[in-house]
Amino acid sequence: MALDGLFLYALKDELKHCLVGLRVEKISQPAKHALVISFRGKSGAYRVLFSASGNAAGVYITDYKPENPAVPPMFTMLMRKNLVGAILKDIRQNRTDRILFFDFDATNEIGDHVGRTMIVEVMAQYSNLILTDENGKIIDSIKRVDLLHSSVRQILPGLQYELPPQQGKLSLLYDDLPAITAAIDEQSQLRLDKAITAAAEGVSPALARELAYRIECSDGGNATEPILQDVRQSLLDERYDPCAVYDADGKPIDFSFLPLTQYTGRDVKNYETLSSLLDDYFYNTERNARVKSKAEDLKKLIATATERITKKLSGQQAELAAAADRDKKRVYGDLINANLYRLEKGSLYYDLENFYDGMQPVRIPADPRLTPAANAQKYYKEYRKAATAEKILTEQIKKGNDDLHYILSVKDIFERAETEKEFAAIREELAATGFIKSANKSSKKAKPAALPFTEYTSPNGFKVTAGKNNLQNDKLSFKIATKKDLWFHVQKFHGSHVILTTDGREPQPEDYVFAAKIAVANSEVKDAERIPVDYTAVKNLIKPNGAKPGFVIYHVYKTIIV
């Protein structure tokens, strides 16, 4: 369900109670079409997400700390220039349309007070965030709309802001309810919920279905006006019951500021505030989807690399199998040389006795254009070529198997990654190992902050640390851990390096079990039972020269089953 005008009316009042009078402290842009503005004042501090994303457009107070790009986009810099330090004076709505106006008292470069308005248009794929001056002139927008995108209304810097074309519907809050009821009745050819959306302003299809369900469960058409009156009074009295509905798999289905009575047998979750509802609802939909969609190309790169390595290995192994037949070439050469006195040029084959195999007869293919001696040299040459190929192929196959083992470990890390920083770290690792092209070295972009390790505390207070990728695994095992610390890893499967920091103390059995469970939880077999986990002192780890990140060997170890 998208935010409709009535939900925005309720949300506007909730936001006004919290934000009006507060000062803008920070502005960031965690996504292409989203801003996060941090407000602070005597009454407290709030982080507000403004989104123009088609799937999650809206504005609400968020408790989730966004992941910001290393270099802020130009629109962020413009918003900071205009709004950082500004005081929010009011939040307005145009009737029950899906537009909110955030009015600020700001200062310009020379310290004069100026008005700035942040306009949030919640219109699915046409949603936008627009900044205007005190005269309504557009300073900029997060989505610029020119004549190629719309011939009706352009959103470009320097133009005067205009409201979207009105649809001529009646407002549940500002117009007479009998008139709205009559307008609904006039749409008798339509299903009731569709008649409600055709007549009433600010009512989404989802809310219309809820209203239609309540009307039909009451007294049919005679209940329309009382039901609408009840909704109106709830909004005027600020009596809300924020709730969201989820399916059996935990996937969000719908949300509303009213109790959703149309759903039976569904998981309904209630919230204290409208913002907490939106924050949770969109976090479970848009944010996870956004992170995963950003990683889709990375997923394809890993899949392509896996397929390429596997295909190359298959071809090399076939060549190696063919090269294994090289000894027969040498035998043919020896047999021809031993019988030169009785062989003639022009033969298609030579029938000879194989003195390497009890004088068994053997037919040796020959090139009739060559002399018998030349045919023997040809077989010797093929033998030497096959011997060289076997040596090279053996080395290439070993490297290919190492590459395949490594890329499968990256695939495991990718499947366990959840945040943009974790996906960025995987990209950095693949670039460092040459599997993908690295970013332009001349780029002046700041490097992203180092990804933190995952840390736990064992039953007896020992620190247990797990790496989130192969580069972290190497750093953890060979630079951070001391020789007396303990290293854990699932046996024969891909997973994180896990370090139990001893600090000179002796861990108890339950600490070993805890660290082993962490190793399983951070591996490709995290959902399996009775998994063997190897552990050893860090001093026993060996990193072979030229080995891929995350690869170690060890000979002294013990195993625990968890």
Quick one: how far is CA 250 from the chain centroid? 18
pLDDT value of residue 449: 63
Q: Which helix (H) or strand (E) segment is 389 a member of? A: helix 372-416
Q: Which of 93, 165, 160 is nearest to 126 (CA)?
A: 165
Mean pLDDT of 47-68: 87
Element (H, E) at 232: helix 224-236
Q: Which of 494, 535, 491, 490 is nearest to 511 (CA)?
A: 535
pLDDT at residue 457 tops 90? yes
Distance CA 469, CA 488 (A): 15
Q: Per-residue pLDDT averaged across 176-194, rounded?
A: 91
Q: Identify the band that residue 327 occupies on the pLDDT scale cut at 50, 70 and 90.
A: confident
Q: List the beta bridge partners of residue 145.
A: 155
User: In this predicted structure, what is the pLDDT of residue 281?
Assistant: 84
126-137 as b/e: b if 16+ CB within 10 A = bbbbbbbbeeee
Q: What is the mean pLDDT of residues 242-262?
A: 83
pLDDT, one tens digit per residue, over 353-380 is: 999 989 999 999 999 999 999 999 999 9
Predicted TM-score (pTM) above 0.75: no
Query: What pLDDT shows up at residue 386?
Result: 85
Where residue 442 falls among pLDDT bands split at 50, 70, 90? very low
More confident residue, 149 or 374: 374
Judged against a pLDDT cut of 90, whether residue 482 lies above it is answered with yes
The structure tokens 């976090």 sit at 283
pLDDT at 150: 81
Q: Which residues does 33 contact at the CB level (< 8 Å), separation at least 6? A: 51, 52, 53, 127, 129, 142, 143
Q: Which helix (H) or strand (E) holds 100?
A: strand 99-107
Query: Mapping DSSP to helix (H, G, I), strand (E, B) and coil, where does residue 530 land?
Result: coil
157, pLDDT greater than 90: yes
Higher pLDDT, residue 528 or 264: 528
pLDDT tens-digit profile of 298-318?
888 889 989 999 999 998 888
Mean pLDDT confidence for 233-237? 93
pLDDT at 265 over 90: no
pLDDT of residue 425: 86
Gyration radius (Cα) of the chain, Å: 35
Main-chain phi, psi angles of 182, to 5 degrees: -65, -40
User: What per-residue string of b and e applies to 499-523 under the rule 16 or more CB within 10 Å gives b?
Assistant: bbbbeeeebeeebbbbbbbbbbbbb
Residue 512: is its pLDDT beyond 70? yes
pLDDT of residue 294: 64
Query: Taking all residues of the chain, what is their mean pLDDT, rounded to a whole number?
Result: 89
Which pLDDT band holds residue 148 (cuts at 50, 70, 90)?
confident
Count the alpha carbons within 13 Å of 109 in the hemisphere toward its beta carbon: 1
| Banded model confidence at residue 104, pLDDT cuts 50, 70, 90 | very high
pLDDT of residue 287: 57
Q: Inform me whether the pLDDT recorded for 68 exceeds 90.
A: no
Q: Give the mean pLDDT of 205-231.
A: 86
